Amino acid sequence: MKTRRQFIKQSMVGAMGMIACPTILPASVFGKNAPSGRINIGAIGTGRISRDHDMPGVWKYDDARIVAVCDLDANRVAEAKQHVESYYTKKTGAPYSGVTTYSNYRELLANPDIDAVLISTPDHWHARNAIDAVRAGKHVYLQKPTSLTISEGRKMSDAVNASGKVLQIGSQQRSMEQFRVACELVRNGRIGQLREIEIRLPGDPPGGNPEEMPIPQGFDYDAWLGQTPYVPYTVDRVHPQKGYGRPGWLRCEQFGAGMITGWGAHHFDIAHWAMDKEYSGPVEIEGKAEFPASGLWDVHGLYDTEMLYDNGVIVRGTTDSAEKPNGVLFTGTDGWIFVSRGAYAASPNEPISTSSKSLQASEPKILSPLSSDAIRLYVSNDHHGNWLDSIRTGQKNSTPAEVAHRSCTACLLQHIAMKLRRRLYWDPVLERFSNDDEANSMIARAHRPPYQF
């Protein structure tokens, strides 16, 4: 039976979407239903972002343990096992060899000892991996963006919500103080009435060698392509065979939309947070972009987009530069706020902001502390830790499935507008374009058998 205090607290969370991130609880709290008190985790996809960001994000917690790794590249899965076991050996001071390897993620999901998964696969596998994981009863930490298409994102969010499992998207800016503070300042009217948000993202260069190469031994290339059309193997289309540099698939439209989703999923999510539009989206979109005329890599380069929301705010997207550094600029009737990551990068070779300050304003007083009765937003100080807390407590995390889907949708809408180069009209409730069959045909893509949803 709930106490009045508990009831009031839960009611406030539901009404305002505000909750402080709880601490990880000790194993003794969970009694006989969880004798170890430990969350056993499998890592699906063991490339750059998994090794540098996701696995270190959870293995630092004593009550979470990476017990399995899975990859379609035999060399990478072997290196991942060594990577994890070396960490635990150093951490515990005793030899450790408790990591199981898989080449098929469905076999990992079938392991009843695994409670949750880190999904750090290429973008075109995200939604399918997540849907299968929650249907198998696993909690999910999913790298952004949520999906390759808007249709897949809707299926993913619906599957997660139906499962009752926890999904957190890897929009770690939600757990960086400067982004939360910027959004709180905007919501509390520190820059007057919000008029415009400018999102500045890095671009991707053209290039890449399209010449067909032999498929490396131990690499299941057909499964890696998944739902997308079969095309010949070349290393620049996939990932480096040695090392963990930035992979070529990030620059191929077959597998993702480029920086508009790669970085845009972070920054447009912050725009939604500041506007209180986390469960909605734009109503009008237009855009233009430069696309390579030759070479393997075909995602957009320089770009400009504009979206109108039903609150009258215009959200613009543009390529960053020395004059316009990577980040989010909020402009209102009484000033502006600019927020960025500063020098933070999720992996060593990821583009970072060229701004020296992570939070700036047109006047110092705009950044002064808010009053005790001000609007406050969800507090998380560690993104992976927040996910683990959510698994333990059943409470809402900082970026659940529907919020993640809406942020990704805003990015994919801009990508469609870049292609069609005309103003589009979007219904965020129906998730359809108004009177535009061509645009609606781009909400989904055909899936190659046997990898269809």
Give CA 40 to chain center in angstroms: 22
| Calpha distance 138→116 (Å, rounded) | 5
What confidence score (pLDDT) does residue 356 get?
Answer: 56
**Residuewise pLDDT in 10s, the chain (453 residues):** 333 333 333 333 333 333 333 333 333 233 333 435 899 999 999 999 999 999 999 999 999 999 999 999 999 999 999 999 999 999 999 999 999 999 999 999 999 999 999 999 999 999 999 999 999 999 999 999 999 999 999 999 999 999 999 999 999 999 999 999 999 999 999 999 999 999 999 989 899 999 999 999 999 999 999 999 999 999 999 999 999 999 999 999 999 999 999 999 999 999 999 999 999 999 999 999 999 999 999 999 999 999 999 999 999 999 999 999 999 999 999 999 999 987 655 555 555 555 558 999 999 999 999 999 999 999 999 999 999 999 999 999 999 999 999 999 999 999 999 999 999 999 999 999 999 999 999 999 999 999 988
Structure tokens at 327: 């980040």
pTM value? 0.89
List Cβ neighbours of 263 (8 Å cut-off, separation of 6 or more). Answer: 201, 202, 326, 351
**Which of 446, 347, 326, 403 lies closest to 120 in space, CA to CA?**
347
**Which of 156, 229, 269, 196 lies closest to 448 in space, CA to CA?**
229
What confidence score (pLDDT) does residue 168 get?
Answer: 98
What confidence score (pLDDT) does residue 177 get?
Answer: 96
**Which of 198, 208, 203, 199 lies closest to 291 in space, CA to CA?**
203
| Calpha distance 312→199 (Å, rounded) | 17
